[in-house]
Amino acid sequence: MSRRVTRRLLLSAMAAGLARPALAQSFPARAVTIVVPFAPGGASDIVGRIIARGLQTQLGHPVVVENVAGAGGSIGTVRVARAPADGYMLTLGHIGTLAANVPLYPNLGYDPRRDFAPIGLVVRNPAMLGVSLRSGVRDLRGFIEHVRAKQGEATFGTAGSGSQTHLAAALFLNLTGLRGTIVAYRGSGPAVQDLAAGTIDAVMEQTLTLIPAHRSGIIRALAVTTRQRIEQVPDVPTFAEAGLPAFDAGNWQALAAPRGTPEPVVARLVAALSAAQDDPEVQQRFRDLAAEIPAPADRGPAFLARHIDAEVTRWIRIVREANITVD
């Protein structure tokens, strides 16, 4: 190799090395968009708006939430997968869009293990079974009898086909041997509204959405998927206490960028997310909704990559065993 070529390569390497910290320092130069792949008002939307505010404080630029609903969250997730890999458009994924959708949708349009640059796990949150006050049901045993008596006509509202709420409802029916009708909405918000109105019988939703509805008295929560009762709603028993210990359909949300996003940009987003999670105001808002911010050891891209891989494997098995399908 000639001296001229060697010198050129060395200069290129030095330039690249200098560009990395410069890129991290200059990002962001404008607003960052978090695509929430569900309608406003649901659990993902709530998480997205809480963490967007925290990130905005850390990044010093607006962080905007955009709701792009449809196909169990796949439409919004595909949009981010195909976006420019510059860190300005992120997805707020969850157990469905970043895991269970893989076995549910043969033509998904993306692979969560390959098409994203993981940033970090945002929160873990348990699920709750909520019922309409008009049903007259007061506990899990009564609800099971209610569903059995309706002979397949009991309705479970969901945030959409393939959503966490769909998966939870299908798991519940499979575990109990009951039949019911799963109704797909364009997000959890509309489903909970119809539950409050008595249009549907039940919603298997996250605490983020159902705790406020239960506290306000517009629906009744019957059980929660935690090992112990949660302080926010101490009157709600766990599924184990209520007689169904095998049921577990808790959720999690995570941030990811398009594959190929420069490492310095990812590192800037990782640091901003961790700082936002340590913000007392953000912590309190999630605590009020029984959402758990992960410990520092469970944050960052490496942990999230392993978590997504394990969750995809787990849901491939569950979807097959429970024969869960989407329309």
Is residue 15 assigned to a domain? no
DSSP 150: T
CA distances from 42 to 128, 177, 223 (A): 14, 28, 19
In what helix (H) or strand (E) does residue 66 lie, and over which residues does it extend?
strand 63-67
Query: Would residue 274 count as lying in a domain?
Result: yes
What is the CB neighbour count within 10 angstroms for residue 136? 10
Domains identified in the chain, total number = 2
200 within some domain: yes
CATH number for 46 = 3.40.190.150
d(CA 210, CA 215): 8
Asked, for residue 292, whether it belongs to a domain, the answer is: yes
Q: Are 117 and 260 contained in the same domain?
A: yes
Together in a domain, 118 and 131: no
For residue 279, what are the domain limits?
30-125+251-322
Same domain, 235 and 132: yes
- Whether 100 and 150 map to the same domain: the answer is no
pTM above 0.85, yes or no: no
132 shares a domain with 237:
yes
**pLDDT score, position 23:** 54
DSSP string, 285-316: HHHHTTPBPPPGGG-SHHHHHHHHHHHHHHHH
The verdict on 300 and 160 lying in the same domain is no
For residue 106, is it within any domain? yes
Counting every residue written for the chain, the total comes to 327
* Any domain includes 38: yes
* Same domain for 96 and 131: no
Q: Are residues 154 and 181 in the same domain?
A: yes
| Pair of tokens at residue 124 | 């873990």
DSSP symbols for 237-284:
PBHHHHT-TT----EEEEEEEETT--HHHHHHHHHHHHHHHT-HHHHH
User: Given the structure tokens 């978590």, which residue do they identify?
Assistant: 307
Q: Which two tokens stand for residue 98?
A: 């970043």
| Domain final residue, candidates 181, 210, 242 | 242
Asked if residue 14 is part of any domain, the answer here is no
Distance CA 267, CA 280 (A): 22
Domain boundary among 178, 213, 242: 242
158 and 217 assigned to the same domain: yes
Dmax over CA atoms of the chain, in Å, equals: 85
Task: Per-residue pLDDT tens, the chain, 327 aa: give them.
Answer: 555 655 655 555 554 454 445 555 689 999 999 999 988 988 899 999 999 999 999 999 999 999 998 888 899 999 999 999 999 999 999 999 999 999 988 899 999 999 999 999 999 989 999 999 999 999 999 999 999 999 999 999 998 777 788 888 988 998 899 999 999 888 888 999 999 999 999 999 888 889 999 999 999 999 999 888 999 999 999 999 999 998 888 889 999 999 999 999 999 999 999 999 999 999 999 998 889 999 999 999 999 999 999 999 989 988 888 788 876
User: In the beta sheet, which residues pair with residue 220?
Assistant: 131
- Both 165 and 270 in one domain: the answer is no
Q: 248-276 burial, b if ≥16 CB within 10 A, otherwise e?
A: bbbbbbbbbbbeebbebbbbbbbebbbeb
* CATH classification at residue 229: 3.40.190.10
The residue among 172, 207, 242 that closes a domain is 242
What pLDDT does residue 327 have? 67
* Within a domain: 44: yes
**Residue the block writes with tokens 């090395």:** 17
Contact 187, 45 (CB under 8 A): yes
